[in-house]
Amino acid sequence: MNKWTRRSFITTGLLAGGGLMVGVALRPGNRAKGLAQHVTSEGETFVHTWVKLDANNVVTAIVPHAEMGQGVGTALTQMLADELNADWNLVKFEEAPAITPFANHPILKGMLPPGVEIPEIVVPTVDGLLMRTAQALNLQITGGSMSVRSTGVYGMRVAGAAVQEMLRLAAAEAWQVPLDQVVARNSQLIHEASSRTEPYSAFAAAASEMTPPSTPQLKTPEEFTIIGHHVERHDIPSKVDGTATFALDVRLPNMLYATVRRTPTFGGGIESLDDSKARALPGVVDVIRLPASKAEALVGNFTATESVAVVAEGYWPAKQGLDALKIVWSETANDYVSSASIFEQFDRDISAGVDREVDVAEGDFEATMANAAQVIEADYRAPYLAHTCMEPLNATAVVEDGRAEVWVGCQAPLPFRQAIADAMGFDAENVTLHNCFMGGGFGRKSRADYAIQAVQLAAKMGRPVQLIWTREEDVRQDFYRPAVQSRFRAGLDKDGNLTAWENTYVDKHEPVEAPLIPYTPLTASNIGYVSSPTHVPFGAWRSVDHSQHGFFTESFFDEVAVAAGQDPYEYRAARLADKPRQLAVLRKAAEAAGWGAPLGEGQGRGISFQECFGSIVAQVVEVTVLDGQTQVDRVVAAVDAGIAVSPDGLSAQIESGIIYGLTAALYGEITIENGAVKQSNFSDYEALRISAAPKIETHIINSGSAIGGAGEPGTPGVAPALANAIFDATGFRVRSLPINLIDLDYKVEDVVTPA
Amino acid sequence: MTVLTVNGVKQETSVDSSTPLLWVIREQLELTGTKFGCGIGQCGACTVRLNGTAIRSCLTPVAAADGQEIQTIEGLAPSDGALHSLQAAWIKHQVPQCGYCQSGQLMSAAALLESNPTPSDEDIDLAMEGNICRCGMYGRIKAAIKTAAKAGADNTADGTADALTIIATAKETADE
Ligand code: FES
Ligand code: FES
């Protein structure tokens, strides 16, 4: 447990008023060869976690992650407070401002072994990922379920332990007593023999003079009093009385409002614009054409085409103006692209197999298939998906004298600042970014396109501008979860054992291990991909590639179990036999769900297993399919995230991930027509509502392994568990999503065959 | 000129009378707790109460609210420093994730409990169906409504003790 502390670096300083400031930095570790040149030169330090102890004995953690609903501030603060032996009521958190010293370096560390158990097979490819991430440093990124795993473990706990140690030393010196008699408890320093008790703050100044310990003693899990215990989230009270400030709620004097429409066909442009009607509307101030924009950072990169904005005295006149615009869009090479043509292309490219890249190739696949007693094959498809964060994209900006000030909810403050600076030709130092609460992020708010538009408008107007996207724009100008197709072949021996597994899919993104299969043994396997690019912009969507591959792999594996004539749960369990941690999670979900218990009419039960972002999740779904109507009755999830720092927070994230994944499985489809997105709003891009929400039961296993992510691991497993349950209920195998497009009431006897 | 009573305070606005109430509340009155989510009556983020009834303010022209009583999230608590039993229950069940939908959820739930103090699961589904939560906190919303309903029922049955306890606990949390 102490190994990594060699790479930690702790620094202290004195605050005005006698407070203590402690920063924890990470220096390049010896694990990443060649990393140093990208991260720092020898002797440089990157302080990423700051802890402040003020004169009122209040400890403030300054957290380099954005709050998008996942409770990150609370979980990180718990880790600090526990090591510090602080009174929970005297611990606060602030989000770090978007300036370089707060850059989120541990996100890189978290990608390194052993923080993530990257399968042996793909380790060679990790270097590539690592290098790209290294180049992308100086970034604050909230994504990849990394906050608690990396910043929390490598920063918060070290900071807490170091501060506690320094305070005890300072007290021992001041009281002239042996160090081991000074106890730190509830933000107080105590020497029992002499009945002395003083608040931490009394020793802040003395502690700031000390050389911080290089290897502070961390607690063992048994010693935790706050980690793993229920605490209430600090941000919740402001979210029940309307006082939480989202970017949309920023109000500046003399502010104008704007809304925008970008070229609907991706890659297109504006042929002509007639804005006379819009300009004549009361309240409309200006109509502005905004140039295409792009960001070339390695994280959050994008290109976006031209757009037209209407600026007005309020959102409503701006929206009226937008609707009154007459825009002729230019013709593009993509005008005839449709979802159907895209999937035809995928099909062709998979069949052709040109330049197929291999993730895994073990054993002699074709020979094993030739010996198989049974062979099964299937194609699986997943559509494009939008993120539809509850809060439509928006940003507020003021531009004056070559400086920009921006209010936005975003997942990557530093890349946003850089992208804005690049778009405006400013130095990054001249861009101030205030990150607000995010009404959802899910990956969308890592691209700065909307913030750049707001800054461009504010520069043009010479007044503060709040740009608010319509929901229609939000649906049609996303960076979508990519559509994917997978082609599977599997071979079984005469006893029904899976011997050969092949998967060829289109286009690889991240994480690299998403298409892999956790089950062993296999005589031969071959997993690989072909390139089949489309013009549709894509980006990270909650759980990234796991969301499609989790559905594909866990559904097709279910087909294998059925082909073997075996119980899908037992079949999985037998093939996780050499992985006790994984097996325990699978067993927990199955037992808690009452696997095997009789079900009612039209009911079915399905199971899935998923390992991602350092956490393990198994889910059992119960479904009722009657008259073609699908009702998800119950989801039982078991999760092992190492140690649940905030158990209720982890449960909430799993519930949230399940509903997000269920919305996608049941209704989610972005359709491409004439090169553009067909859907527009919640009316045709539906979200799961309360009456369709299943009962969710989350069971947490604290295995004590490295801490895993919480925000994403709940999402991928629900679609396959549901699809497997539908098979159990109906005998129909769902191989493409969404489910509501499938006629589950189809019966062979309904088909009238002419005599 | 449109005259509204918002959270008990008389307000006048001269915006075009076809402007949806949502934008008057957010922009003219600067009460930003009420949110914009879809603009077409599909998501419920903009829910406020008009004479007690939950309405979608993104579809309601301000003219329709002329001379009427509007309640927004800022006016839900009975008094400064106190919480509505629903708000207390929302904290107890740690309902909000991102929190963006929650003003609308709470206003719909408040209208429900006022007309139906002991709602069944089906009643809750019906009343809350128009409020999307992209963070998927439906289970907690349902549980919190029941807690608040119970607090209300205990309140009428045997004094105010339980309801007040919840409020006091929640308040301490809020003060932290
Ligand atoms: S904003 Fe009114 S219902 Fe969505
Ligand atoms: S809490 Fe985020 S949308 Fe409901």
SS3 for A621-670, per residue? Answer: EEEEEECCEEEEEEEEEEEECCCCCCHHHHHHHHHHHHHHHHHHHHHCCE
DSSP state string for A175-230: HT--GGGEEEETTEEEETTTTEEEEGGGGHHHHHTSPPPSSPPPPPGGG-SSTTS-
Specify burial of residue A470 (Cβ count, 10 A radius: 0-12, 13-18, 19+).
buried
Q: Answer yes or no: is B47 within a domain.
A: yes
pLDDT value at residue A416: 87
pLDDT value at residue A10: 52
Instruction: Please give the average per-residue pLDDT across B60-81, as a whole number.
Output: 95
- Chain B residues whose CB is inside 8 A of the A248 CB are 32, 35-36
Q: Answer yes or no: is B80 within a domain.
A: no
- Joined together, the tokens standing for residue A253 give 């004097």
- Chain B residues whose CB is inside 8 A of the A635 CB are none
Q: Do residue B54 and residue B103 come from a single domain?
A: no
Residue type at A52 in one-letter notation? K
Confidence at B6, pLDDT banded by 50, 70, 90 = very high
Is the Cβ–Cβ distance between A230 and A75 less than 8 Å? no
End-to-end CA distance of chain A: 75
Q: Inspect the interface and report whether the beta carbons of B133 and A243 lie closer than 8 Å.
A: no
Q: Do residue B109 and residue B163 come from a single domain?
A: yes
How many CB pairs below 8 Å do chains A and B form together?
194
With CA atoms as reference, the chain A residue closest to B139 would be: A695
Q: Which of A162, A208, A209, A158 is nearest to A27 (CA)?
A: A158
Q: Inspect the interface and report whether the beta carbons of A239 and B33 lie closer than 8 Å.
A: no
What is the C-alpha to C-alpha distance for residues A709 and A642, in angstroms, rounded to an integer?
9
| Interface list for A 40-99 with B (CB within 8 A) | 68-71, 89
β-bridge mates for residue A408, sequence order:
A395, A435
**Interface with chain B: mutation pick from A259, A388, A390, A691, highest number of B CBs within 10 Å:** A390
CATH of the domain at B123: 1.10.150.120
Is the Cβ–Cβ distance between A216 and A2 less than 8 Å? no
- How many CA atoms within 13 Å lie on the side-chain side of A538? 18
Kindly provide the ipTM of the predicted complex, given to two decimals: 0.90
Is pLDDT at B8 greater than 90 in this prediction? yes
Is pLDDT at A89 greater than 70 in this prediction? yes
- Chain A residues whose CB is inside 8 A of the B90 CB are 236, 240
Q: Do residue B68 and residue B92 come from a single domain?
A: no
What is the distance, to the nearest Å, from the Cα of residue A323 to the centroid of all Cα atoms in its chain? 34
Q: pLDDT tens digit string along A571-623?
A: 999 999 999 999 999 999 999 999 999 999 999 999 999 999 889 999 999 99
Q: Do residue B109 and residue B70 come from a single domain?
A: no
Tell me whether A658 touches chain B (CB under 8 Å): yes
Residue A649 C-alpha to ligand 2 middle, in angstroms?
Answer: 14
What is the C-alpha to C-alpha distance for residues B86 and B92, in angstroms, rounded to an integer?
10
Confidence at A206, pLDDT banded by 50, 70, 90 = confident
The last residue of one of the domains, among B49, B75, B101, is B75
CATH of the domain at B46: 3.10.20.30
Q: How many domains does chain B have?
A: 2
With CA atoms as reference, the chain A residue closest to B121 would be: A691
Q: Answer yes or no: is B134 within a domain.
A: yes
CB within 8 A of B134, min separation 6: which ones?
A388, A389, A390, A440, A442, A660, A687, B98, B100, B101
- Judged by DSSP in three states, A694 sits in coil
Q: Inspect the interface and report whether the beta carbons of A389 and B134 lie closer than 8 Å.
A: yes
Q: pLDDT tens digit string along A11-67?
A: 555 555 555 656 554 443 323 332 233 233 333 333 345 677 888 898 887 765 555
The last residue of one of the domains, among B75, B94, B116, is B75
The last residue of one of the domains, among B35, B52, B75, is B75
Q: Do residue B39 and residue B93 come from a single domain?
A: no
Residue A724 C-alpha to ligand 2 middle, in angstroms?
Answer: 29
A716 preceded by cis ω (within 30°)? no
Q: pLDDT tens digit string along A670-711?
A: 999 999 999 999 999 999 999 999 999 999 999 988 777 788
Q: Which of A535, A520, A682 is nearest to A609 (CA)?
A: A520
DSSP state string for B60-102: SBGGGGTT-EEE-GGGTSSSTT---HHHHHHHHTT--SS-TTH
Under DSSP, the state recorded for A385 is B
Q: Do residue B48 and residue B67 come from a single domain?
A: yes
The nearest CA of chain A is from the CA of B154 a distance in Å of: 23
Q: Do residue B145 and residue B104 come from a single domain?
A: yes
The nearest CA of chain A is from the CA of B109 a distance in Å of: 12
Is pLDDT at A557 greater than 80 in this prediction? yes
pLDDT value at residue B77: 95
Q: Answer yes or no: is B91 within a domain.
A: yes
For ligand 2, is residue B33 a contact (CB within 6 Å)?
Answer: no
Q: Do residue B92 and residue B41 come from a single domain?
A: no
Q: Do residue B159 and residue B102 come from a single domain?
A: yes
Q: Inspect the interface and report whether the beta carbons of A242 and B32 lie closer than 8 Å.
A: yes
What is the C-alpha to C-alpha distance for residues B40 and A399, in angstroms, rounded to an integer?
33
Confidence at A749, pLDDT banded by 50, 70, 90 = low
Is pLDDT at B17 greater than 80 in this prediction? yes
DSSP state string for A494-505: TT--EEEEEEEE
Q: Which numbered ligand comes closest to the C-alpha of A390?
A: 2
Is pLDDT at A124 greater than 50 in this prediction? no
Least confident piece of the model among A220-229, A242-251, A308-317: A220-229
Q: Answer yes or no: is B71 within a domain.
A: yes
Q: Do residue B17 and residue B47 come from a single domain?
A: yes
Specify burial of residue B175 (Cβ count, 10 A radius: 0-12, 13-18, 19+).
exposed
Neighbours of A74 (CB within 10 A): 23
Query: Three-state SS across A426-439?
Result: CCHHHEEEEECECC
Least confident piece of the model among A166-180, A617-631, B147-161: B147-161
| Interface list for A 410-449 with B (CB within 8 A) | 437-442
Could you give the percent of chain A with pLDDT greater than 90? 63
Mean confidence (pLDDT) of chain A: 84
For ligand 1, is residue B55 a contact (CB within 6 Å)?
Answer: no
For ligand 2, is residue B159 a contact (CB within 6 Å)?
Answer: no
pLDDT value at residue A434: 87
- Chain B residues whose CB is inside 8 A of the A438 CB are 98
Q: Do residue B118 and residue B151 come from a single domain?
A: yes
Backbone angles phi, psi at A151, to 5 degrees: -60, -40
Q: Domain containing B24: what range?
A: 2-75
For ligand 2, is residue A649 a contact (CB within 6 Å)?
Answer: no
Is pLDDT at A116 greater than 50 in this prediction? no
Q: Do residue B71 and residue B92 come from a single domain?
A: no
For ligand 2, is residue B24 a contact (CB within 6 Å)?
Answer: no
Structural domains of chain A in order of their starting residue, each with its CATH number: 8-241 (3.30.365.10), 247-333+393-468 (3.30.365.10), 353-384+480-750 (3.30.365.10)
Q: Which numbered ligand comes closest to the C-alpha of B44?
A: 1
pLDDT value at residue A11: 52
- Chain B residues whose CB is inside 8 A of the A441 CB are 98
Q: Inspect the interface and report whether the beta carbons of A440 and B98 lie closer than 8 Å.
A: yes
